[in-house]
Amino acid sequence: MNRNLDQSLLNIEHAALVSISDGVIVGDTDGRLLMLNRAAVRLLRVDPDTVVGSPVAALFEPFYARGRLTIAEAMKRLYADPYSYGQAGKPAEIIFEIGVRFIQAHLAPILSEVGEFMGVVIVLRDITREVEAERSRSDFVSNVSHELRLPLTAIKGYCDLLLHDTADQLNEEHLRYLRIVQSNANHLVALINDLMDISRVESYRLDLEVQPVQLETVIRDVADMVKPQCDQKGLRLTVDVEPNAGPVLGDRSRLSQAISNLVNYACHRTPEGGHIILTLSSSDDGVQVSVSDTAPRLSPQDRSRIFQPFYRPEDTLVRDIRGTGLELPVARVLIEMHGGRIWAAEGQDGGNTIAFVLPRCVEVPGEIIYKKANSSGRQYTILVVEDDEDIAQLIALQLRREGFQVLTTPYGEEAVSLAHSQHVDLITLDMMLPDISGIEVLHRLKGDPATAEIPVIIVSVLLPEQTGEAGQEAVEHITKPFAFEKLMESIRRTLEAKKGQRMPARHGW
């Protein structure tokens, strides 16, 4: 009787497993596939008769590298420590792409009644509809941001120009007014950029250029960048780097952005005369970066919520701080995209510590050193293709001050004609033109041997992913609004690479 009951229960469990809409994968203690249900077969598009007994990780081989590496790393952690996996903030859920679909995978150990590790179970859920809904919201944010970027680019550019040219001619009151305008414009730029980053990450549209990265160099660059801000507030900034902490696999610019956000947040909260410590060290989980401060200590409730967008701790000091409220949320999503985890804790000697850890990368390719030839002294000609007259005049004015010859046009057809008739060394190209699109201009230039070698820098309110594969024909994509120094740096770097000549240095750079 008991045997019949046990068999009936097994039949019911098997029927339930087959019937559920979520995919279920079961692996043994050696990482080999024991079974998968009908939904998992459908999602992964595999033959159950051939994959059973093979490594579970092999099920994900056909899919995108980022998702494949993420789930492989998660499985590695699970098998290495099945009893604490999913605890203490370690991620137990990941999302990866299968073709045009997005799959959420929940990983968990299978433990017996006495706690014996028996294998792993992975539950797969198709969340494509949720992602598409998130993308619709992202598109709305993107469209609104585009409408804000054009006027904001002009406001910021001309304000910077006025401060540079007329600062010594204005009285203190008028100078203060201009600096207020500049400060508010910079604040809006930061807010738009942070909103776009969060929106792109949440809709899975932010691509990472993954490569081995030495965090020591990133940390020192960030320290150099934020030091003037700390000096202005009378803060002491200390960098403590553990030698040979090891490289990580990630996008250098995005990791730099995440670390900058943490240090900027600490700088905002720390009172005048305080101390900020930026630390790089090894940990059992990989490579750890910590930012410690002497700001008022956060409450446990605040520490659990500071990574939520726009959340501000309930203390007087923080309420008086001006910021986007998105520094920590952006840092969180960037770190989690790299397969890491981030947390806030009490500082050892008062204050607070915000830290993150990333998996260590084993191999580092050899360093590449680029050498630049001497300048020939030739004056370069840049064609500015921009349909907004105010922005076109602003870019042209700044470039002429840098010693360049400048041609401008708002029309794509005329841009192609000028590229043929004039000796153009570089083109800055807007994507939204009144006659033909910037993509069409790019296609024509690159498809004609006479103009194919002219480097093109896209300068547009459109994001890189919105230009598609065609936009990859440009050497760089700069999103409006932008700091002119960023455009200038891109132009110099591009012309040096093209001509093998060092550009004349700008006085004061």
Question: Higher model confidence: residue 286 or residue 135?
Answer: 286
Residue 484 to residues 1, 161, 338, 449, 456, Cα–Cα distance (Å): 82, 10, 30, 31, 17
Weakest-pLDDT range from 69-73, 102-106, 370-374: 370-374
Report the CATH number that the domain containing residue 453 is assigned in CATH: 3.40.50.2300
Domain count, the chain: 4
What confidence score (pLDDT) does residue 15 get?
64
Six token digits for residue 361: 């990368």
Residue 191 near residue 324 (C-beta atoms within 8 A)? yes
Decide which of 126, 159, 184 is a domain's last residue. Answer: 126
Same domain (yes/no): 182, 239 = no
Same domain (yes/no): 136, 116 = no
Taking only the tens place, the pLDDT of each residue in 467-491 is 777 677 888 888 877 767 778 888 8
Tell me the C-alpha distance between 471 and 235, whole Å. Answer: 43
Alpha-carbon 88 to chain mean position: 25
The answer to whether residue 432 is domain-embedded is yes
Residue 289 near residue 250 (C-beta atoms within 8 A)? no
Secondary structure string (H, E, C) spanning 88-140: CCCCCEEEEEECCEEEEEEEEEEECCCCCEEEEEEEEEECHHHHHHHHHHHHH
Dihedral sign (CA 33, 39, 44, 46): positive
* Whether the model pTM is above 0.85: no
Asked if residue 355 has pLDDT above 90, the reply is: yes
Same domain (yes/no): 139, 264 = no
Same domain (yes/no): 220, 351 = yes
What confidence score (pLDDT) does residue 12 get?
61
Same domain (yes/no): 148, 117 = no
What confidence score (pLDDT) does residue 278 get?
93
Per-chain mean pLDDT for the chain: 78
Question: First-to-last CA distance in the chain?
Answer: 88
Six token digits for residue 380: 């370069």
Q: Is the peptide bond before 481 cis (omega within 30 degrees of 0)?
A: yes
Same domain (yes/no): 237, 253 = yes
The answer to whether residue 506 is domain-embedded is no
Same domain (yes/no): 219, 351 = yes
CB atoms within 10 A of CB 407: 17
Half-sphere exposure of 19 (CA within 13 A, CB side): 6
Same domain (yes/no): 95, 172 = no
CB atoms within 10 A of CB 5: 9
What confidence score (pLDDT) does residue 248 get?
87
Q: Which residues contact 484 (CB under 8 A, 6 or more apart)?
A: 157, 160, 395, 398
Residue 386 near residue 434 (C-beta atoms within 8 A)? no
Question: What would the DSSP string read from start to end of 390-410?
Answer: HHHHHHHHHHHHTT-EEEEES
State the pLDDT confidence band at 237, using cuts at 50, 70 and 90: very high
Same domain (yes/no): 158, 84 = no
The answer to whether residue 158 is domain-embedded is yes
Tell me the C-alpha distance between 334 and 209, whole Å. Answer: 13
State the pLDDT confidence band at 504, using cuts at 50, 70 and 90: very low
What confidence score (pLDDT) does residue 315 get?
56
The answer to whether residue 507 is domain-embedded is no
CB atoms within 10 A of CB 505: 9
Report the CATH number that the domain containing residue 45 is assigned in CATH: 3.30.450.20
Decide which of 96, 126, 156 is a domain's last residue. Answer: 126
State the pLDDT confidence band at 203, using cuts at 50, 70 and 90: low
State the pLDDT confidence band at 460, using cuts at 50, 70 and 90: confident
For strands 426-429 and 381-385, give the pairing: parallel
Report the CATH number that the domain containing residue 162 is assigned in CATH: 1.10.287.130
Phi, psi of 120 (to 5 degrees): -130, 155
Phi, psi of 217 (to 5 degrees): -70, -35
Decide which of 327, 358, 389 is a domain's last residue. Answer: 358
Same domain (yes/no): 233, 297 = yes
Six token digits for residue 482: 């932008």
Same domain (yes/no): 423, 465 = yes
Query: Which residues are bridge partners to 406 per DSSP?
Result: 382
Q: What is the residue range of 436's domain?
A: 381-499
Same domain (yes/no): 93, 161 = no
Asked if residue 68 has pLDDT above 70, the reply is: no
Tell me the C-alpha distance between 279 and 248, whole Å. Answer: 15
What confidence score (pLDDT) does residue 419 get?
92
Report the CATH number that the domain containing residue 218 is assigned in CATH: 3.30.565.10
The answer to whether residue 94 is domain-embedded is yes
Q: Which residues contact 459 (CB under 8 A, 6 or more apart)?
A: 386, 395, 428, 429, 430, 478, 480, 482, 487
Closest-CA residue to 39 (of 122, 110, 111): 122
What confidence score (pLDDT) does residue 384 get?
94
Taking only the tens place, the pLDDT of each residue in 138-170 is 666 666 766 777 788 888 888 888 888 887 888
Weakest-pLDDT range from 243-252, 313-322, 481-490: 313-322
Residue 385 near residue 509 (C-beta atoms within 8 A)? no
The answer to whether residue 304 is domain-embedded is yes
Tell me the C-alpha distance between 52 and 58, whole Å. Answer: 11
Please state, for a pLDDT cut of 70, what percent of the chain lies above it. Answer: 77
Six token digits for residue 83: 């009893």
Which residue type occupies 87? Q
Q: What is the enclosing helix (H) or strand (E) of 1?
A: none
Residue 458 near residue 414 (C-beta atoms within 8 A)? no
For strands 286-293 and 275-283, give the pairing: antiparallel
The answer to whether residue 505 is domain-embedded is no
Please tell me whether residue 471 adopts helix, strand or coil conformation. helix
Tell me the C-alpha distance between 155 and 170, whole Å. Answer: 19
The answer to whether residue 366 is domain-embedded is no
What confidence score (pLDDT) does residue 372 get?
26
